[in-house]
Structure 1
Amino acid sequence: MAAPKVRWHIAVFLAPAVLVYTAIMIIPLFGTLNLALYGEEGFRGFQNFRVLFGDPLWSDAFWNALGNNIWFFVIHMLVQNPIGVLLAALLASPRLRFAAAYRTAIFVPTILSFVIVGFVWKLILSPLWGIAPSMLGAIGLKGLFAPWLGQEGSALTTLALISVWQFVGIPMMLIYAALLSIPDEVLEAAEMDGITGWALFRKVQLPLILPAIGIISILTFVGNFNAFDLIYVSQGALAGPDFATDILGTFLYRTFFGFQLQLGDPNMGAAIATAMFLIILAGVCLYLFGVQRRLRRYQF
């Protein structure tokens, strides 16, 4: 019996991607994990993590950043993704005119730089020279305006909604593609049974795109817990006012590189980065083994 043929060409084609991924992802990851176990005096084991979670000087800032990160993620899940699904459903309607123009207009903000988005929205919402007060005044709602980015209770929510505005086009396009992949025969059969309009989307299309919604949810989770740019551009490394917008990314930046009077501590910064990695890993594993298995996939 002849020995099975070894398909070396598969390894040849995979090798470049594996080497690049290893160089820029795997090696830095293990380097960070190793750095988190050391300090100025040498090997410390898990002492950096005990300090991070147990010392009030570190733990208060860490839990504040984690709580803000969770709220940032929740707003995206409750606002961005439902709006993305709704927009996709509207754009997928064959009765809608100029759908391509609407898709382009909604998706354009996702390709803008964080620097541009943060700077422009700071100008818009500025109580001194922003246009938001005059726009609200034009419709008789100027009394509702407040310096949202300067108030502790509203700054983080405002930034999260700005992020929603910028990235709502991504879930919209992914859901739109999932809706287009549903065969016309399925929709026609449902319409013959008298299911039309909103009922068609809720009873037929929505169950078929649940796997796509699940993927969007986990991408939102990973993206939000890696967030940094918008907060840094809008509120600076101190994530004001009074750390009300501080998230794990800005906390990591100040700790690792230092900022103003705070000296950089690469070892504690690596401990924070490791904690972020474990949080994201736990969320992804929860989705893969706890949620994705329960989503029914349909093959057409």
Structure 2
Amino acid sequence: MAARRQVRWHIAVFLAPAVAIYTALMIIPLFGTLVQSLMNSDGQGGHMFVGLRNFSTLFGDALWSKQFWNALGNNAWFFVVHMLVQNPIGVALAAILSTPKLRMAAFYRTAIFIPTILSFVIVGFVWKLILSPIWGIAPGMLDMVGLKSLFTPWLGKEAYALTTLALISVWQFVGIPMMLIYAALLSIPDEVIEAAEMDGITGMSQFWKIKLPLILPSIGIISILTFVGNFNAFDLIYVAQGALAGPDFSTDILGTFLYRTFFGFQLQLGDPYMGSAIAGAMFGIILVGVCIYLFGIQTRLRRYQF
């Protein structure tokens, strides 16, 4: 007689609290937002189903589409700066800190990672003080090295404000890719490194030829986390530039555009239905990006995993 298969109820018991909290705080609100994006006011205090009319207005109406595409373009640039600056610096720092002969490596890791745990409010406020042309320390510091002529009110000029905020965000979060890549480098078996050294592959050559291909899966994960995080960004822009994301909406991203639309700001009344449509568009953009990574990139990176 075949033995009865044991039912592992303990797995469901341990997962139930996390699943319940995640469903209550994430899944149900997301589903409600997507449903609300298909509704609109009926003029009598209720709502009615309008299908994709809100999305048609968002993409087709000149007043809405101009703001949406401006915010999407700013979001894309915000993401590009992180990909081209934050992640390569994170990889370089991890490679340096994983060097066995480096002294005080633990101190350097901690110092670089500390900004990650700081509040967005603190980071935004402090950097506004630093870069202020009136009472900031940036002009004085540049003057000390003879470069005061390079100073300009970066947060007050349309051409520089978004890039400046992106670089501030890079400074705050570079510790995350650094730690993830550092952990990936430490997970490389010693046998692989020893075999490379026996073949005369050492130093930078060893990193490019041996270590970098082996940490590509981790770099891929960091890239998709960067994508999701940047297209969900809101806090730093709101703290530094306000809901209007000035100057002249040059730092406006989808998060601040959603905030103004949904809740209203100053003389602008809130429209929860159009706000839900913007949130639905953000969800669609992130979903497409994640699917491209999962089905187009991750499958190719699996060959490098142990």
Question: Aligning the two structures, in what range does the TM-score lie when normalised by the shorter sequence?
Answer: over 0.9
Partners in 2 of 1:22 and 1:70 — Cα distance?
Answer: 29
**2:24 pairs with 1:23:** yes
Aligned-partner SS, 1:66: helix
Q: List runs of 5+ in structure 2 lacking aligned partners.
A: 43-47
Q: How far does the alpha carbon of each residue in 1:105-142 deviate from its partner, in whole angstroms, 9 at most, with x for none?
A: 10010011101100010010011111111111111111
Deviation (angstroms), 1:7: 2.9
Counterpart amino acid of 1:34? V
Of the three residues 213, 236, 241, the one matched with 1:235 is 241
2:116 counterpart residue number: 110
**2:147 pairs with 1:141:** yes
Counterpart amino acid of 2:153? P
> Residues 217 and 305 of structure 2 are in contact (CA less than 8 Å); yes or no, is this contact kept in structure 1?
no
Counterpart amino acid of 2:11? I
Deviation (angstroms), 1:9: 2.8
**2:83 pairs with 1:59:** no
1:297 counterpart residue number: 304
Of the three residues 174, 184, 198, the one matched with 1:178 is 184
Q: Which deviates more from structure 2 when the two are superposed, residues 237-246 or residues 135-144? A: 135-144
**2:162 pairs with 1:161:** no
Of the three residues 132, 150, 161, the one matched with 2:156 is 150
Q: List runs of 5+ in structure 1 lacking aligned partners.
A: none
1:276 counterpart residue number: 282
Counterpart amino acid of 1:30? F
> Residues 40 and 273 of structure 2 are in contact (CA less than 8 Å); yes or no, is this contact kept in structure 1?
yes
Q: Aligned-residue CA RMSD in angstroms?
A: 1.0
Partners in 1 of 2:103 and 2:277 — Cα distance?
Answer: 53
Deviation (angstroms), 1:248: 0.2
1:252 counterpart residue number: 258
Aligned-partner SS, 1:69: helix
Aligned-partner SS, 2:158: coil
Deviation (angstroms), 1:192: 1.1
Partners in 1 of 2:57 and 2:274 — Cα distance?
Answer: 9
Q: TM-score, normalised by structure 2?
A: 0.96
Deviation (angstroms), 1:16: 1.8
Of the three residues 261, 270, 288, the one matched with 2:267 is 261
Partners in 2 of 1:38 and 1:209 — Cα distance?
Answer: 46
Deviation (angstroms), 1:96: 1.0
Counterpart amino acid of 1:297? Y
Of the three residues 75, 99, 103, the one matched with 1:69 is 75
Of the three residues 85, 91, 100, the one matched with 1:94 is 100
Q: TM-score, normalised by structure 1?
A: 0.98
Q: How far does the alpha carbon of each residue in 1:217-244 deviate from its partner, in whole angstroms, 9 at most, with x for none?
A: 0000000000000000000000000000
Deviation (angstroms), 1:13: 2.3
Q: How many residues align?
A: 299
Q: Report sequence identity in percent.
A: 79
Deviation (angstroms), 1:11: 2.2
Q: Which deviates more from structure 2 when the two are superposed, residues 242-251 or residues 184-193? A: 184-193
Partners in 1 of 2:9 and 2:141 — Cα distance?
Answer: 64
**2:46 pairs with 1:40:** no
Aligned-partner SS, 1:195: coil
Aligned-partner SS, 1:259: coil
